[in-house]
Amino acid sequence: MIHLQVIILVSGAHVTSDPQPPVLYEGSRLTLSCDVRAGSHLSYTWFHNRQEVTSLPTSPLNPRLLLGNTLIVENVTAEHAGNYYCIARTMLMDRRFSSSSEVNIKVKAHLSVPQISFTISKEGSSYRCNVTCRSSRGTPPVTFRLLLDNVEVGSEVSGESLVAWFPVPVVPGQDMGVLLCRVENDAQLLTSEPLTLEVVPVGGSVTVDIEYLYRFDSKMSAARLQCHLSFGTFPSFSWSLNGSLLFGCCEGSTSHALADAGRTLLLAEITPENSGYYRCRTKDSYDNASAWVESEPVLVQITEVTMATIEVIAIVFCCFLMLTLAGGVACVTRMLRNPRECVQSSQQPEERRFSDNFCIIRPPLPLSEVTSGTALKRLDSCSADNDVSCVDSDLQNQTLEITI
Which pLDDT score is estimated for 60? 58
Which pLDDT score is estimated for 224? 92
Closest C-alpha among 49, 167, 162 to residue 114: 162
Cα–Cα distance, 86 to 101 (Å, whole number): 8
Cα–Cα distance, 114 to 143 (Å, whole number): 11
- According to CATH, the topology of domain 203-300 is Immunoglobulin-like (2.60.40)
Please tell us whether the domain made up of 115-198 is placed in CATH 3.40.190.10.
Answer: no
Which pLDDT score is estimated for 4? 65
- Note whether 14-108 and 203-300 share their fold: yes
Cα–Cα distance, 15 to 26 (Å, whole number): 21
58 C-beta neighbours (distance < 10 Å), count: 6
CATH superfamily, domain at 14-108: Immunoglobulins (2.60.40.10)
The domain locations on the chain are: 14-108, 115-198, 203-300, 352-386
The tens place of each residue's pLDDT in the chain, 404 residues long, gives 776 666 777 888 999 999 999 999 999 999 999 999 988 888 899 999 998 887 666 565 665 778 889 999 988 988 899 999 999 988 776 678 889 999 999 999 999 999 999 999 998 889 999 999 999 999 999 999 999 999 999 999 998 999 999 999 999 999 999 999 999 999 999 999 999 999 999 999 999 999 988 877 667 778 999 999 999 999 999 999 998 888 655 555 567 788 898 999 998 888 888 889 999 999 999 998 899 999 999 998 877 544 455 667 778 888 888 888 888 888 888 777 765 544 444 444 444 444 444 444 455 545 444 444 444 444 444 444 444 444 444 434 444 343 33
DSSP H or E run through 198 = strand 195-198
- Three-state DSSP at 340 gives coil
